[in-house]
Amino acid sequence: MVELTRTRDSDALSYDVERVRADFPVLSRLVHERKGKPGKPLVYLDSGASAHKPRQVIEAMSRFMEEDYSNIHRGVHFLSQRATDRFDAVRGKVARFLNAPSDNTIVFTRSATEAINLVASSYGRTFLKEGDEVILSVMEHHANIVPWQLLQAEKGIVIKVVPVDDEGVFDLDAYAGLLSDRTKFVAITHCSNVLGTVTPAREIARLAHERGVPVLFDGSQAVVHRPVDVQEIDADFYVFTVHKLYGPTGLGVLYGKYELLKKMPPYQGGGDMIEAVSFEGTTFKLPPTRFEAGTPPITEVIGLGAAIDYVESLGREAIAAHEDDLLKYATQQLSQLEGLRILGTAPGKGPIISFTLDGVHPHDIGTIVDQYGVAIRVGRHCAEPLGERFGVGASARASFGLYNTRAEVDALVSSVRAVKEFFGA
């Protein structure tokens, strides 16, 4: 366990990354051991796709299944009550994590994707009609594009797209220009999974609210890298996924202002979300339960609680400072490689570096650095329109987490050097 006093300090120098690494069992493994040859240490620079889990999360989940597991909100027996209490406590923990005003604004979903689909489906199908406009940005992950396109096909809504400049900065003026009486919803990423750009969430929300338009932020990357206060940015909806936050897969979170959630119809029907069921008609519970049909991922919710405890024990400001140091160092080191182009250089960006290398396809970069134990993402990063914006079909992406080190940045840089030599690029 990491000492609170030591790591609460926001100075990156006092952040003991080696102690942090010791909490992550997978980080000590070797990769590519074969034919009697020793493996290479894993250099995991793909946390933006999914982060590894600390022992504290893994153990909390196993212990829960060994000691307290049961279905929730159903039984009168001891374990059911115990599991229910523990499950419900995490809702409160998530509310505090986002500085949400109350527990009942937090809905558990299967993923961030499902959270956005929930809003597009429940809010969108109820309150949007033909010709209404929804504003997205060109930086959106497919998860924040396709649900709105489904709504477009069904209801005839119109999708407007906010551009970014060559550095990847969100074009606030263009956004303001797109807002009109026809605008009925805004859904924007809080931190781009490709460029790392952090969007001016408070300003985006303020401008939308001037016209009474609700705003959803996709915070899947943002919550991992910096403290998020949904009241301060005045988000109407805020979603994130848990597996990028050092927690388990299969779980997402939707924050919604209660007065909005309350007027939204159910997204899925089933057990737990109903007050009374009869074939003459069924009445639904209040949010958040209304949106949690069926048995939820109970053990995963316990894992989320442990993940939040973990990042808070390290200190979110301290994590941000550490990751910012890695970002600066990596940017500086990679920039020295001739022919390497970094996509996204917005001021204040998150610790994500997408890049291309002249004469070498990203897929080939990925395969070669992997042979050196360096795990990066290559491809379109589920954000095809953005790749087109920057004139690249695909790119390579290194994303940093709380356990990465400068030595790992060096490993990345030297493996990219090897790629260049290999291809004579």
Partner 1 sequence: MMDELRELYQEVILDHGKNPRNFRHPEDANREAKGENPMCGDRFMVYLKLKDGVVEDVAFQGRGCAISTASASMMTEVVRGKTEADAKALFETFHDLCTKEDHEHGDHGPVDEEAMERLQVLAGVRQFPVRVKCATLAWHAMSAAIDGEDKASSETKD
Query: Which residues on neighbouring strands pair with residue 341, listed in sequence order?
Result: 356
Q: Is 398 exposed, middle or buried (0-12, 13-18, 19+ CB in 10 A)?
A: buried
With beta carbons less than 8 A apart as the criterion, state whether 251 and 301 touch: yes
| Residue number, 196 or 362, with CB nearest to partner 1 | 362
Binding site for partner 1 (CB under 8 A): 32, 37, 40, 359-364, 367-368, 371, 378-380, 384, 387, 393-394, 422-423
Q: Are 326 and 196 in contact (CB under 8 A)?
A: no
What is the C-alpha to C-alpha distance for residues 151 and 325, in angstroms, rounded to an integer?
41
Q: Is 79 exposed, middle or buried (0-12, 13-18, 19+ CB in 10 A)?
A: middle
User: Of 212 and 391, which has the nearer Cβ to partner 1?
Assistant: 391
Pinpoint the alpha helices (H) of 167-292.
172-178, 201-209, 222-225, 230-233, 258-262
* Smallest gap from residue 350 Cβ to partner 1 (A): 23
Work out how close the CB of 387 gets to partner 1 at its nearest, in angstroms, rounded to a whole number.
Answer: 7
Polymer length in residues for the chain: 425
Among residues 302 and 368, whose Cβ is nearest to partner 1?
368
Residue 191 appears among annotated catalytic residues = no
**Which is the catalytic residue, given 382, 383, 394, 409?**
382
Alpha-carbon torsion (148, 149, 155, 159), positive or negative: positive
Q: Nearer Cβ to partner 1, position 215 or 357?
A: 357
Identify the three-state secondary structure at position 143. helix
Burial class (CB in 10 A: 0-12, 13-18, 19+), 151: buried
Q: How far apart are CA 99 and CA 151, in angstroms?
A: 30
If the CB atoms of residues 242 and 383 are measured against partner 1, the closer one turns out to be 383
Select 38 or 281, whichever has its Cβ closest to partner 1.
38
Task: Please identify, using beta-carbon distances, which residue of 33 and 166 lies nearer to partner 1.
Answer: 33
Nearest residue to 137 via CA among 68, 79, 190: 190
Question: Closest distance between partner 1 and the C-beta of residue 211, in Å?
Answer: 36
Is the previous residue joined to 288 through a cis bond, with omega within 30 degrees of 0? yes
Per the listing, tokens 């069924």 go with 282
Q: Is 102 exposed, middle or buried (0-12, 13-18, 19+ CB in 10 A)?
A: exposed
Q: Are 391 and 403 in contact (CB under 8 A)?
A: no
Can you list the positions of beta strands (E) in 299-339? Answer: none
Least Å distance, CB 122 to partner 1, is 29
Please report how close the Cβ of residue 159 comes to partner 1 at its closest, in angstroms: 21
Shortest reach from residue 194's CB to partner 1, in Å:
12
Q: How far apart are the first and last CA of the chain?
A: 45
Q: Pairing between strand 106-109 and 133-137? A: unpaired
Nearer to partner 1, 127 or 423 (CB): 423
Catalytic residue annotation:
382
